[in-house]
Amino acid sequence: DPQRTAFLLRKQWTLYSVTPLYRFSDAHLRDYARLLSAFIAAEKQKGLAVEVGVELGTKVTVSCLPDLKGSDQDQAAILVQLSLRSPAAPKNSEEKLIWSGWFCCVAGDDLSQNVPEDFTCLPLFLVNGAESYTAIVGSWFQKTFDCYFRRLAISPLNLSWMAAMWTGCKVDKTASAMELVFSVPRLPQPLDISYAIHPEDAKALWDTVQKTPGEITQEEVDVFMDCLYSHFHRHFKIHLSATKLVKVSTAVASAHCDGIIKFLQSQYLTGVLMLLTELAISQIQ
């Protein structure tokens, strides 16, 4: 149901990889929310006792996102949301969402098949919100489930894969331009080159490169990028192959090498997550 994951679209998510959670259980999500909320309160008023379970300043909800799965083996995604109640506002007024993060695993069989029952594989963690909250929530999960969070960067090689894969995806609406951003290394001043291509042109190029539909090889990706580079060189006399690809934006999604992603199409959400899950798993193993 695209409605239920719509809120994940058009937001910037920072990526983390997470090692398997030890003794995590879907059955206790409400307890986790209560403990986490107390933990946040305790972190904020260092050293003073905090009562667990009472209404504290920051409200925590932990819930399941059952739609985000690649296969039955995958653990259902877990969403953590922090919202703030202003003390002045009346009791039942809307709370303000200040931070959200979700764990997911889409087609993560490589990892989940190899760990014992006590462990839950949710190798990809996506965050939208202040770093200070990420730190508190992340620390709580690290302490409670003995896991380890690491920022997940996306290498230029993987970005070029994304560029090729997403170019080939069909998008209904009149799609926005495909944009590649390159950064020129070793300059006194930072210099970024933005390369925008009409999505239909890019798709036409990719269709001539891809041999078997539904299958992509490294060679095809290289050819696709080389074509774009030589086209650029013909016009501007700049070798983009000597620069670093830092960002890819298409109608499907946009990804930055620092490990920041924005999903734009709900129909390709799980597809993108599958690739990101794979990257997260390779960082863990």
Residues 39-58, interacting with other proteins (CB under 8 A):
39, 42, 45, 48-49, 51-53, 55-57
| Interface characters, 147-166, with other proteins (x: CB under 8 A) | xxxx----------------
Please give the Cα distance from 285 to 281 (Å, whole number): 6
- The answer to whether the beta carbons of residues 97 and 64 sit under 8 Å apart is no
Nearer to other proteins, 99 or 232 (CB): 99
Residue 11 CB, shortest distance to other proteins, in Å, is 22
Helices (H) and strands (E) in the chain, counts: 8, 13
User: What is the DSSP track for 93-134?
Assistant: SPPEEEEEEEEE-SS-HHHHTTS-TTEE---EEEEEE-HHHH
Residues 56-95, interacting with other proteins (CB under 8 A):
56-57, 87
Secondary structure class of 135 (helix, strand, coil): helix
CB atoms within 10 A of CB 103: 25
Which amino acid is present at 249? S
Q: Return the structure tokens found at 154.
A: 């996306």
Residues 99-118, interacting with other proteins (CB under 8 A):
115-116, 118
* Binding residue for other proteins, selected from 12, 25, 93, 267, defined by CB under 8 A: 25
Residues in contact with other proteins by the rule CB under 8 A? 19-20, 22-23, 25, 28, 31, 34-35, 38-39, 42, 45, 48-49, 51-53, 55-57, 87, 115-116, 118-119, 131, 134-135, 138-139, 142-150, 283-284
